[in-house]
Amino acid sequence: MAEEKSAAEQLREQLCNTRKNGRLTADDETLATADRYCEGYKQFINTAKTEREAAAAAVRLAEAKGFVPFEIGKKYESGDKVYFNNRGKTVAFAVIGTEPIENGFNITAAHIDSPRLDLKPNPLYEELELGLFKTHYYGGIRKYQWPTVPLALHGVFVKKDGTVIPVTLGEAADEPKFVVNDLLPHLAAEQSKRPLSEGIRGEELNVLVGSHPFREDKGSELVKLNILKLLNEKYGVCEEDFLSAELELVPAFPACDIGFDRSLIGGYGQDDRVCAYPALTAILAVEKPKRTALAILTDKEEIGSVGNTGLSSSFLRYIAGDLAAIQHADPTVALRHSRCLSADVNAGMDPTFQDVFERRNASKLNYGVVVTKYTGARGKSSTSDASAEYMAEVRELLDRTGIIWQTGELGKVDIGGGGTVAMFIADLGVDVVDLGVPVLSMHAPFETTAKLDVYMCYRAMFEFMK
Ligand code: MN
Ligand code: MN
């Protein structure tokens, strides 16, 4: 005979917020589907380690599903699939809805840039007969984490005639890699007294790139000369071509499963490709939505969404204008009626560093996709604080469609803080809230996420746009 629930138990079920670990509540089929989904995700982040590579990979996948470049002046019907490519670094995918565009878009937005080491315009030098690159780090890295990690070189040289020469070196097992070196403990007594934030300083993030001198006994800097010779043979470039290049050093290892039970994923650049991949795969699965669906994969979030490929620029406004023009509609009306899931990661609670979190409001791995009402710092400054009305809509959608979800805040008040693209989309009059995946070791060369959360992020994006 089943035991009767006590009055308190019944009341608790009725009134209390009792979210449970998703790996306890999800059925086996959901867990298996999440595992399969994450195989595709791992492949994606292995081939898309920079915004350019992620944009190109996204376009390839979208074209295979029938998306075509948007053309101004062309006629489009509901169900048509188009994309906008902003300089190869930011891409937006749209599926035209059955309702008038002035009814608003359902927008998802994630970013495809990640923290890394960028080469300076004059990077190459020789010191003590070793060849090195000077770097300027990109985004909020903890500098001490980057030495003694195998690195790969990604990016482009652009010649004066406009020829773009892509570079990817260090990813294949038989390709050479690069490394920032650090002091040995025996000689690090002084360095170890520095605060952690200065354990490695910005100008110490120098990358070792060679040691073989050009074999001639006359002349100086023969190692550097030999590296230039190799670069010229492989890419057809000379030293001045670094002036018109975007070359980035990223961790050279692939994504992998973490843990005996394989429930987690470790890999570089999961902030925010762990939301970009769900946003992309969700819009690829959208067929005939009521409201026009729009998925944006953007550049430059990690440095404040600046520049003409960042979301604080006008490109989203222009895209809304182009789409509205199909129906001779007013894009500002469409934007005012739009809603958005700004898809970005949140900090999952780390068992080793619990003090920085306020546990009643922090997100946890395996508790599903995390909705973050506001980010910001010091009294919610520099954020978009989603309205209660919009939160209610999102809650209703997630609960109705059986998505495992939680809420999160980025650390304790006055300790945490951060920003996402949400506030720039809110600037256009759009209702927006952050929704994404909890991450451990965010911005480190190797970040950790949970498979179930990644899959729930996909499901949320799909239900929102379909
Ligand atoms: Mn992010
Ligand atoms: Mn970030």
Are residues 453 and 357 both part of a single domain?
yes
Residues less than 5 Å from ion ligand 1, measured at CB? 271-272, 344
Are residues 443 and 319 both part of a single domain?
yes
pLDDT for the residue 2: 63
Position 43 in a domain: yes
Beta strands, E only, 98-140: 105-111, 116-127, 130-138
Distance 168 CA to ligand 1 centre (A): 24
- CATH number of the domain that residue 276 is part of: 3.40.630.10
Are residues 100 and 123 both part of a single domain?
no
Q: What is the pLDDT of residues 23-59, one digit of tens each?
A: 999 999 999 999 999 999 999 999 999 999 999 999 9
Are residues 51 and 171 both part of a single domain?
no
Are residues 331 and 436 both part of a single domain?
yes
Q: What is the pLDDT of residues 350-370, one digit of tens each?
A: 999 999 999 999 999 999 999
Strand partners, 127: 130
Distance 112 CA to ligand 1 centre (A): 9
Q: What are the backbone dihedrals phi and psi of residue 77, each rounded to the nearest 5 degrees, phi first?
A: -110, 165
Distance 301 CA to ligand 1 centre (A): 7
Distance 272 CA to ligand 1 centre (A): 5
- CATH number of the domain that residue 209 is part of: 2.30.250.10
Q: How many domains does the chain have?
A: 2
220-234, 245-259, 322-336, 374-388: range with lowest mean pLDDT: 374-388
Q: Which residues of 255-268 are buried (b: 16+ CB within 10 A; e: fewer)?
A: bebbeeeebbbbbb
**Sheet containing strand 151-158, strands side by side:** 164-169, 151-158, 245-251, 116-127, 130-138, 207-210, 179-180
CA distances from 68 to 61, 65, 81, 317 (A): 11, 9, 7, 20
Asked whether the beta carbons of 46 and 268 are under 8 A apart, the reply is no
Asked whether the beta carbons of 320 and 101 are under 8 A apart, the reply is no
Quote the CA–CA distance of 208 and 248 in Å, as a whole number: 14
Q: How much is the average pLDDT of 122-135?
A: 98
By C-alpha distance, which of 51, 146, 202, 139 is closest to 419?
Answer: 139
Are residues 358 and 311 both part of a single domain?
yes
Q: How much is the average pLDDT of 5-28?
A: 92
Indicate the average pLDDT of the chain.
Answer: 96
Q: Please return the burial class of 328, using the count of CB atoms within 10 Å of its CB with bins 0-12, 13-18 and 19+.
A: exposed
Distance 141 CA to ligand 2 centre (A): 9
Distance 444 CA to ligand 2 centre (A): 10
Are residues 70 and 219 both part of a single domain?
no
Q: What is the pLDDT of residues 59-113, one digit of tens each?
A: 999 999 999 999 999 999 999 999 999 999 999 999 999 999 999 999 999 999 9
* Ligand approaching nearest to the C-alpha of 437: 1
Distance 346 CA to ligand 2 centre (A): 9
Dihedral sign for Cα atoms in the order 246, 271, 40, 177? positive
Position 10 in a domain: no
Q: How much is the average pLDDT of 405-413?
A: 93
Quote the CA–CA distance of 369 and 350 in Å, as a whole number: 17
Distance 212 CA to ligand 1 centre (A): 40
pLDDT for the residue 426: 94
Q: Please return the burial class of 278, using the count of CB atoms within 10 Å of its CB with bins 0-12, 13-18 and 19+.
A: buried
pLDDT for the residue 419: 83
Domain extent at residue 161: 116-251
Quick one: which H or E segment has residue 92? strand 90-95
Q: Indicate whether this model's pTM tops 0.85.
A: yes
Distance 441 CA to ligand 2 centre (A): 11
pLDDT at 238 over 80: yes
Distance 346 CA to ligand 1 centre (A): 8
pLDDT for the residue 382: 83
pLDDT for the residue 321: 97
Are residues 106 and 172 both part of a single domain?
no
Using pLDDT thresholds of 50, 70 and 90, give the confidence band for residue 378. confident
Quote the CA–CA distance of 102 and 82 in Å, as a whole number: 18
Distance 458 CA to ligand 1 centre (A): 16
Distance 138 CA to ligand 1 centre (A): 13
By C-alpha distance, which of 48, 37, 70, 82 is closest to 299?
Answer: 48
Distance 116 CA to ligand 2 centre (A): 11
Q: How much is the average pLDDT of 453-460?
A: 98
Are residues 193 and 316 both part of a single domain?
no
Position 4 in a domain: no
Distance 10 CA to ligand 1 centre (A): 40
Are residues 240 and 283 both part of a single domain?
no
* Ligand approaching nearest to the C-alpha of 441: 2
Are residues 106 and 138 both part of a single domain?
no
Are residues 173 and 228 both part of a single domain?
yes
The encoded tokens of residue 254 equal 């692939």
Distance of CA 448 to the CA centre of its chain: 13
